[in-house]
Amino acid sequence: MKKYNYKKRTICIFTSNRADYGHLKNLIFKIHKSNHLILKLIVSGSHLSKKHGSSVKEILNDKVPIASKIKLDINSDYNKKKIIKTLSKSLIKCDKAIDRINPDIILILGDRYEILPIAQIALFRNIPLAHIHGGEVTSGVLDEQIRHAVTKLSDIHFVSHEIFKNNIISLGENRKNIYVVGSPGCENLDRIKYLDKKSLEKKLNIGFFRKNLVATIHPQMNKKDTLKLIKNLIDVLVKLKDTLIIFTGVNPDINSDLVFKNINRIKDNNNFKIFKNLGQKLYLSLIRQVDGIVGNSSSGFIEAPFLKVPVVNIGNRQDGRPLADNIVNSDYKKKNILKAINKIYSKRFKKNIEKTESIYFKKNTSTKILKVLLSKNLNNLKQKKFQNDKI
């Protein structure tokens, strides 16, 4: 690797949940091992929540040094007032942590509300902010506004596709600060040593059925839509014959308690298994072995197409994301959910899915990000001007 003559740069990475850590993991390893960068990891959010599976254990098992743990009250039922209260406390706690760390660059990923305080701190402390996965569109949830707000507060943009680069340029960001690198969560999909069925059965203490589905459900902003989604889905799933349903954990969002409560009412059903947190390798190994994913998770759009895993996408949470051939959309009606599930089992669909490709996948994503973090000129990044040039 190229030699650098200047002082080591301190990179502060903020992670708040199992999903963003899964995406960031390879990059975190590379920064930690780099002779030219110093890693400072802030861990917060559902990582430190028993209700959400205490996914900090995965970080500790990976032997990644944690610079600061910021515990937030996300174990109770979540609503708008509690989220605002949580964000205000997070702002103060994170600011103290960042003051101690004194980073050269702060790096965040995605569109979770937990990253808003970090973006604000970077602005007021005049610290360059790098953001991964900006420019994407998910018009069905609040994440859309958060993502675009963070984009405007960010100075360096790592995007997964040229489409998303153009979206960021249309928001007025300088194209010189936008790098098309792919999704860091996808880069190792062709290199992971996946667990086979027997290993998964032993690890998860389950027995696969003749048919198997993973259900990953996150709440909608609208309470009625969330209830329709989870109740109707469960009503459909309980009637499927000889089918194992594996539910994965729920994000701490508005209305997430509605999803929790409805999933818990079927916890004693032998056809259902519920896991608060699986971690990246277990989750990816699992979806490769099942017949498909049912729900509204972004993993159905980002990782699943590369792995050629069928997806039944319910509702509008992911509206705006490019559709791959592995995805069947459905509204909240029971008959349409069942129709979509039956479709992914059809011979025609299984044949067509073989040509599916993920637009989010590019090789060596983390290495490309690392090079920018090492060499980017950080002067005057926050002095932004309107961009009048054509996309």
- Which pLDDT tens digit goes with each residue over 323-369? 999 999 999 999 999 999 999 999 999 888 988 988 999 999 999 99
Alpha helices in the chain (DSSP H): 18-33, 56-61, 80-101, 116-124, 143-153, 162-170, 197-204, 223-237, 256-264, 280-289, 299-302, 304-307, 334-344, 347-352, 365-375
In this predicted model, what pLDDT tens digit does every residue of 217-245 receive, in sequence order? 999 888 899 999 999 999 999 999 999 99
In terms of domains, do 179 and 202 share one? no
Q: Residue 381: inside a domain, yes or no? A: no
Cα separation, 261 vs 266, in Å, equals 9
* Position 24 in a domain: yes
Tell me the C-alpha to C-alpha distance, in Å, between residue 16 and each of 59, 77, 186, 225, 340: 12, 18, 19, 26, 33
**Residue 9 near residue 15, CB atoms below 8 Å:** no
366 and 350 fall within a common domain: no
Is residue 94 included in any domain, yes or no?
yes
Based on the domain organization, do 171 and 219 belong to the same domain? no
Whether residue 366 sits in one domain with residue 338: no
278 and 294 housed in the same domain: yes
Residue 37 domain boundaries: 9-187+362-375
Side-chain-side CA neighbours of residue 62 (13 Å):
23
Residue 45: inside a domain, yes or no? yes
Over 80: is that where the pLDDT of 141 sits?
Answer: no
Residues 92 and 230 in one domain: no
Sign of the torsion formed by the C-alpha atoms of 215, 55, 24 and 22: negative
173, 322: one domain: no
Residue 115: pLDDT above 60? Answer: yes
Question: What is the count of structural domains for the chain?
Answer: 2
On whether residue 384 sits in a domain, the answer given is no
Tell me how far apart the alpha carbons of residues 165 and 210 are, in angstroms, rounded to a whole number: 43
Pair (267, 368) in one structural domain: no
Of 317, 307, 108, the C-alpha closest to 214 is 307
| Percentage of residues in the chain having pLDDT higher than 70 | 96
Question: Tell me, what's the pLDDT at 191?
Answer: 86
Q: What confidence tier does 188 reach under pLDDT thresholds 50, 70, 90?
A: confident
In this structure, is residue 2 part of a structural domain? no
- The type of residue at 14 is F
CATH of the domain at 342: 3.40.50.2000
pTM of this prediction? 0.91
16, 94 Cβ separation under 8 angstroms? no
Non-local (6+) Cβ contacts of 48 within 8 A are 54, 56, 69, 70, 71, 72
Report the 3 state secondary structure along 53-87: CCCHHHHHHCCCCCCEEECCCCCCCCCHHHHHHHH
Distance, CA of 338 to CA of 334 (rounded, Å): 6
Residues 351 and 367 both lie in one domain? no
Q: Which residues pair with 131 in a beta bridge?
A: 108, 157
pLDDT in tens, 34-85: 999 999 999 999 999 888 888 999 999 999 999 999 998 776 556 677 888 8
Q: Do 136 and 259 share a domain, yes or no?
A: no
- 273 neighbors 290 (Cβ within 8 angstroms): no
Regarding whether 214 and 65 lie in a shared domain, the answer is no
Q: Are residues 269 and 333 in the same domain?
A: yes
Confidence at 391, pLDDT banded by 50, 70, 90: low
